[in-house]
Amino acid sequence: MSTPALHVLAYPYPTAGHIIPLLDLTRELLTRGLTVTVLVTPNNLPLLDPYISSHPSSLNHLVLPAPDITPPPQKRHIANMRALRDLHYPILLQWFQSHSSPPVAIISDFFLGWTHHLACELGVPRLVFSPSGAFGLSVGFSISRDPPKNDDPENINFLVSLPRIPNSPVYPWWQVPQHFRIGQEGDPDWDFYRNNMLANIASWGLVLNSFAELEGVYIEHLKRELGKDRVWAVGPVLPPVDGDSEEPVNRGGASSVPCHEVMTWLDSRPTDSVVYVCFGSRVVLNSQQMDVLAAALEVSGVQFILCLRVPDGGQAQDDHGVIPDGFEGRVRGRGFVIKGWAPQVTILRHRAVGAFLTHCGWNSVLEGIAAGVVMLTWPMGADQFTNSKLLVDQLGVGISVGEGTQNIPESSELARLLGISVVGDRPERVRAKELSDAALVAGKGGSSHQDLNEMAKRLANYKK
């Protein structure tokens, strides 16, 4: 199908973990004949390069300034959400109104709920893009509509039940998102965050980076909650498996090690023998977590790739772990350490990688599922606890190893789990391969392919 006249604005939340999946969705829209203008802040402009080179005539970009704020760490996220609204809303309003052929729709990240009000003012539909899965988003919507209460907030193990969501998930209080634990109604930050999520519920449509075979029960739940014709599951939006110029070596940042060196190292390893360890683009392990992880990797004897983040200027952290002295020398030959960004999709797709120790961020979940690897789950915050429940309890592809700083495993137990994760015929591996096949089918003529076509068709037929 082709809708050549359709022009949409794609507005990701300006962090790599949110920009990358929306850019991957943008690529899918471009291949369907749409014209897309991507909004970026200056420091994120390089992320567009591989997409622009492949679609020079139909992919445009709009560079807007980044907020200049220095809030305390615990307020940083909400302060940035609010600052983006205050800074970008008037600029975008003027840009739309002065553009000779403005976008006919806005697709924006779920942390940009205020764009619903902008879209209403402009008279165009706004689609929410969720970098979280359908289960995680169902939880977010539920606690926004009906915020959980804890009369004894000192009791971090107070149980919160969400019976309206399929499988009635239950969480200890410390796993409830921070905004709802530390704030209360009437607090400006609490109200802003909640209203942001409620604006997402009110928006014209919802685009999920998920697929029916992975989260069917939760996708159907969202369709019942929002309306069947307002929800499209189009994932996993990932680089093409067959490889082309968009192969994601520079996808998100520069690695400290050239990609070909990592691939050469993996080429010499047996199939499904390597554990890939990475906690995403934001998580910095504390010293206890790092010590446990390093000891477990050393004792386990497994082949591994360890990708570590270091705190940046915006991630000041008093207690951040460092690799123990001599660790790299002691594991030389079976361990490969990357400090900084890693070509994660490429690594996970390599035949030698059999398991993935992950913080369960949704991008990592999808990349692991698509690669068909066993998932060792150590969620750290946000929707990651929900994603771990999905992988371990419902999909049967995961093995739980820890939870944040509350449940840090013993190094000997973690070493044992690392070892069993690369055993050839584990049931988790069999199920992971099945889901990997289902993900491929979903995007090649299956449910996600059909949903993408239907979404583009609905946009093309939209009448103001």
Do the domains at 7-239+443-460 and 259-440 have one common CATH topology?
yes
Q: Model pTM? A: 0.92
pLDDT in tens, the chain (464 residues): 444 468 999 999 998 889 999 999 999 999 888 999 999 999 888 888 878 877 777 889 999 999 988 877 778 888 899 999 999 999 999 999 999 899 999 999 999 999 999 999 999 999 999 989 999 999 999 998 888 888 887 899 999 999 999 999 999 999 988 777 766 667 788 889 889 999 999 999 999 999 999 999 999 999 999 988 999 999 999 887 655 433 455 566 667 788 889 999 999 999 999 999 999 877 788 889 999 999 999 999 999 999 987 665 544 456 677 888 888 889 998 999 998 888 899 999 999 999 999 999 999 999 999 999 999 999 998 899 999 999 999 999 999 999 988 999 999 999 999 999 998 788 999 999 999 999 999 988 999 999 999 999 898 887 54
Q: 7-239+443-460: which CATH topology? A: Rossmann fold (3.40.50)
Query: Is it true that domain 259-440 has CATH number 3.40.50.10790?
Result: no
98: CB partners within 8 A, 6+ apart: none
List the chain domain ranges. 7-239+443-460, 259-440
